[in-house]
């Protein structure tokens, strides 16, 4: 008659193995309990349970000292190096999860990378020189997991996905033109007048020629612009605006340097276009790495303190 199969023995608790090592190294329960900062009775119970799990005595007790049995000495010699490696690995993981290290890969639209994110990353890296930074400035929506990207800056209204996101704030859309163009063509006073102006369309948008304006107070107007100049990126739109080619829309962060310098002027100030959210997006891991959490906190403070303006 075949013997019934034996169930595999469960691995002992790491806590009880650590307690065993403490007693073996200290040469007694009292000293080990003090080292572990636990009650001596609790420590004795842990050792008793470990001996029960392993099926044999680990210590012989005398009036003066606790000695390892032959089986205990074998367990000590085999387990001590492994537990030390485990403790070292846990300590290194804890440090990596809190201190910025390695490489931070982050992507953002090129205009935001130039005007806001790039300066913030430079300041962050100066505080943490051991951290390498890889900034991917592109208007393409990259696959964060496939591209091994830690963070992405995304604008507008996020679609449902497996990614996690935190909102940083909002951006405004401004109608802009150069002083030279306005001197030649005149400044529009109502949104409807934009249909007769030279319009620079951003082809990245779904509807680059149709815009909905809202006047302070609630009135809304939708305007269809005249097709003419096109640019495939906000940087291209900005270049055409600076050259006096026409009128277009840019985000407030992209337009601010030129507005301050007088190279561009905002028109239709009494009207507004829909604003959108600025989000930091990252893969849905249980806990973002320390470099990601630290930069997210740093970047929020950077923006709150006006450093990104």
3-class SS of residue 215? strand
Could you tell me if 265 and 291 lie in one domain? no
Could you tell me if 89 and 131 lie in one domain? no
Note the helical H segments in 150-306: 179-185, 234-242, 252-261, 290-304
Q: What is the pTM of this model?
A: 0.62
Could you tell me if 109 and 92 lie in one domain? no
Domain stop point among 48, 81, 98: 98
Encoded tokens for 63? 């009036």
Could you tell me if 190 and 259 lie in one domain? yes
CA distance 144 to 162: 11
Domain stop point among 98, 122, 139: 98
Encoded tokens for 13? 């608790």
For the chain, the domain total comes to 3
pLDDT digits (tens, 9 = 90+) for 159-203: 656 678 888 888 999 999 999 999 999 999 999 999 999 999 999
CA distance 176 to 183: 13
CA distance 209 to 204: 11
Domain stop point among 55, 80, 98: 98
The more confidently predicted of residues 62 and 127 is 127
Could you tell me if 159 and 281 lie in one domain? yes
3-class SS of residue 194? helix
pLDDT digits (tens, 9 = 90+) for 60-102: 887 677 888 988 888 888 887 887 777 656 655 555 555 677 8
Could you tell me if 90 and 229 lie in one domain? no
- Show the domain range for 138: 102-171+277-304
Q: What is the pLDDT of residue 245?
A: 95
């Amino acid at each position: 008659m075949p013997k019934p199969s034996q169930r595999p023995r469960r691995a002992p608790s790491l806590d009880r193995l650590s307690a065993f090592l403490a007693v073996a190294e200290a040469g007694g329960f009292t000293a080990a309990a003090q080292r572990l900062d636990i009650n001596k009775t609790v420590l004795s119970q842990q050792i008793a349970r470990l001996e029960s799990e392993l099926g044999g005595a680990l210590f012989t007790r005398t009036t003066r000292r606790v000695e390892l049995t032959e089986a205990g000495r074998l367990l000590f010699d085999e387990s001590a190096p492994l537990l030390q490696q485990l403790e070292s690995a846990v300590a290194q993981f804890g440090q990596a999860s809190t201190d910025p290290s390695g490489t931070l890969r982050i992507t953002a639209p090129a205009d935001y990378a130039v005007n806001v994110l790039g300066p913030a990353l430079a300041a962050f890296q100066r505080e943490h020189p051991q951290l390498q930074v890889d900034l991917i400035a592109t208007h393409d929506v990259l696959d964060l997991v496939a591209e091994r990207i830690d963070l992405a800056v995304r604008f507008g209204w996020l679609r449902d996905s497996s990614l996690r996101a935190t909102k940083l704030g909002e951006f405004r859309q401004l109608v802009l033109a150069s002083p030279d163009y306005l001197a030649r063509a005149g400044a529009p006073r109502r949104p409807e007048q934009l249909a007769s102006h030279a319009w620079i369309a951003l082809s990245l948008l779904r509807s680059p020629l149709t815009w909905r304006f809202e006047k302070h107070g609630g009135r809304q107007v939708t305007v269809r612009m005249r097709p003419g100049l096109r640019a495939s990126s906000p940087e291209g739109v900005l270049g055409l605006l600076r050259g006096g080619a026409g009128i277009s829309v840019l985000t407030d962060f992209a337009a601010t340097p030129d507005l301050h310098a007088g190279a561009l002027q905002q028109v239709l100030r009494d009207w507004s276009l829909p604003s959108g959210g600025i989000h930091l997006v990252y893969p849905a891991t249980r806990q973002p790495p320390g470099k990601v959490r630290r930069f997210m906190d740093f970047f929020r403070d950077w923006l709150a303190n006006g450093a990104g303006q």
